[in-house]
Amino acid sequence: MIKTLNKKGFTLIELLVVIGIIAILAAVVIIAINPARQFAQARNTTRRTAVSQILNAIGQNMADNKGVFTCAAGTIPTTATELKSGSGGYDIGSCIVPTYISSLQVDPSAAGAQYTDMTNYDTGFTIMRDATTQRITVAAPGTEIPPETAIISSTN
């Protein structure tokens, strides 16, 4: 008589195959989701929103002042200038906050971008007025995803 052993369980090969399939599926899901790209897209959306808010506040200021942007900092420069307090920037804060916008937003990943109050801020955004057409452009130069060299901007 031949005795047969009935062992229950999985063989090593079966376990390795299942682990391999799970690893492949996990890799495909991680690549499809791409968390770094999702975070970069979220930061770019924040930039677009902030640029639009600032430009809308400028437009509201102009509407209240018969089409002329009125600001203690003077006229908007004709070259791209950083929106920040202090020297080396265009201090737009007191002209639009809190009348036209509740607070200034900052670029989420720009080096040095911060907002403490209206006397101490650096948005990481730039502003300029075209000398010929008088159109105002607010831009976020620090975009992160394709194309990396693109600038998020809005023109009024």
DSSP reduced 3-state for 137: strand
All structural domains of the chain with their residue ranges? 37-155
CB of 84 closer than 8 Å to CB of 92 = no
pTM for this model (two decimals)? 0.75
CB 73 within 8 A of CB 81: no
The pLDDT of residue 146 is 64
**Cα gap 152→138, rounded to integer Å:** 9
Contacts by 34-39, CB closer than 8 A, 24 or more apart: 37/145
| pLDDT, tens digit, 9 for 90 and up, residues 83-117 | 888 888 898 888 898 899 988 888 888 777 787 77
Per-residue pLDDT band at 17 (split at 50, 70, 90): very high
Each residue of 43-66: pLDDT tens digit? 888 888 988 999 999 999 999 999
Nearest to 148 by CA among 40, 50, 35: 40
Longest CA span, the chain: 107
Find out whether 100 and 55 touch, Cβ atoms under 8 Å. Answer: no
